[in-house]
Amino acid sequence: MSTTELALYSPDAENSSEWISRCKQWWVRFISRCASSGCPKLGKLWPSWMHKSSGIYYEGRWYCGRTCLESALAHRVYTLLSTFQSEKPRSHRIPLGLLLVNRGAITPPQLREALRLQREAGQGKLGDWLRQTADLNVQQLTAALGQQWGCPVFPLENQARTLTWGELIPFPILNSAGAVPAYASSDGRVLHIAFEIRVDHTLLYAVEQMLQCRTFPCVASGTAVKSQLEQFRRLHSRTDTCFDTVREYREMTWTICNYAAELQARRIVLARTGSFVWVRFFRHESSRDLLFRILPDPVSSPAEHTASRAKVSSTHADGRKGALPAASIAL
């Protein structure tokens, strides 16, 4: 029976288009199969259909249960952890100091003096030392940073109000990257993110995955970014659960599956951003975030051995912001 014929059975002819849409959705759900190749229900039509309401979508694929989802998540988490070790700091073709000299903002002796002070102190950013030793203002420094990263400079200090997009990105991620949402298009399809020091492309890509929009980087003065971050911190109403000690892929997978079950999530999205693995759980129109702060520890291969679930419990995680029991809060 075609969808057009099914529409004839609609109790209200005016709602025929909605009826057809529901029929299409029902048919897609009916013919879908678990994406796991090792699913015990593979090839059995009725069991898959019966469990359709309890499964979960991950990377556009449907998994009928925790066991099937766990294997896919484990490989993804292991891959994300591997990127933390393989990543190398970006080297610029022209250092910031030379850019400022070429722009006439400072002189070579002033640059040498700032480098000497930074080397002796063993800390601090070059821009901060240059502002102490040379007549360098914030605008000149920000313009040089924009040239260094190939990004436009956004006048964040002239923005009258804080973008509400900050509510959609966990504050720990923004604070760690030294970044804030700067401008969003009216249709929500484009988001510009302003960075204070360095452009974090992992953050841009992660936001695109989570919010289904295009992101573009820009730079802004450090004072303006810090001011916006302070506003986000005070106005931040979401509860972000962050684990600082869970850095082993099996334990992370186990924790994610526990949260998905407790929250009754219908969809999961994973992304790496800066020093975090960002997990977002979706249920209907609501969402909940889970963060893992990652350190560059050695990562073992998932094929080495299967760990006991007694060792892969979230009781090892720091309880600063709540461990697994916090997941009982409904989405």
Give the pLDDT score at 134: 83
Tens of pLDDT, residue by residue over 268-310, are: 999 999 889 999 999 888 889 999 998 643 344 444 433 333 3
124 and 174 in a common domain: no
In a domain, 177, yes or no: yes
In a domain, 18, yes or no: no
DSSP-based three-state secondary structure for 215:
strand
250 and 300 in a common domain: yes
308 phi and psi angles, rounded to 5 deg: -70, 140
164 and 224 in a common domain: yes
In the predicted model, residues of the chain with pLDDT beneath 50 are 1-10, 13, 47, 49, 296-317, 319-323, 325-329
> How many angstroms separate the CA atoms of 173 and 169, rounded?
7
Give the pLDDT score at 188: 85
316 and 289 in a common domain: yes
318 and 245 in a common domain: yes
Give the pLDDT score at 306: 37
> How many angstroms separate the CA atoms of 192 and 189, rounded?
10
Half-sphere exposure of 95 (CA within 13 A, CB side): 8
In a domain, 166, yes or no: yes
Give the pLDDT score at 326: 45
DSSP-based three-state secondary structure for 292:
strand
Q: Which residues form the domain of 145?
A: 96-149
Question: What is each CA distance from 66 to 36, 39, 223, in whole angstroms?
Answer: 11, 11, 46
Task: Pick the last residue of a domain from 214, 235, 256.
Answer: 235
- Tally of domains in the chain: 3
The CA-CA-CA angle for residues 59, 63, 64, to 5°, reads: 160
144 and 182 in a common domain: no
Give the pLDDT score at 137: 87
Q: What is the CATH number of the domain that holds 175?
A: 3.30.300.160
194 and 176 in a common domain: yes
28 token code pair: 């897609």
In a domain, 10, yes or no: no
In a domain, 299, yes or no: yes
In a domain, 306, yes or no: yes
Give the pLDDT score at 158: 82
> How many angstroms separate the CA atoms of 170 and 219, rounded?
20
Report which DSSP code applies to 11.
Answer: S
315 and 255 in a common domain: yes
DSSP 71-135: HHHHHHHHHHHHHHHH--PPPPSS-HHHHHHHTTSS-HHHHHHHHHHHHHHT-S-HHHHHHHHS-
63 token code pair: 């998994």
216 and 170 in a common domain: yes
205 and 160 in a common domain: yes
In a domain, 30, yes or no: no
Task: Pick the last residue of a domain from 106, 121, 149.
Answer: 149
Compute CA 299 distance to the chain's CA centroid, rounded to the nearest angstrom: 21
194 and 245 in a common domain: no
In one-letter notation, the amino acid at residue 313 is: S
pTM of the model: 0.75
Residues 6+ apart with CB under 8 A from 12: none
Task: Name which of 246, 257, 315 is nearest 63 in CA terms.
Answer: 257
Task: Pick the last residue of a domain from 201, 235, 269.
Answer: 235
243 and 231 in a common domain: no
In a domain, 45, yes or no: no
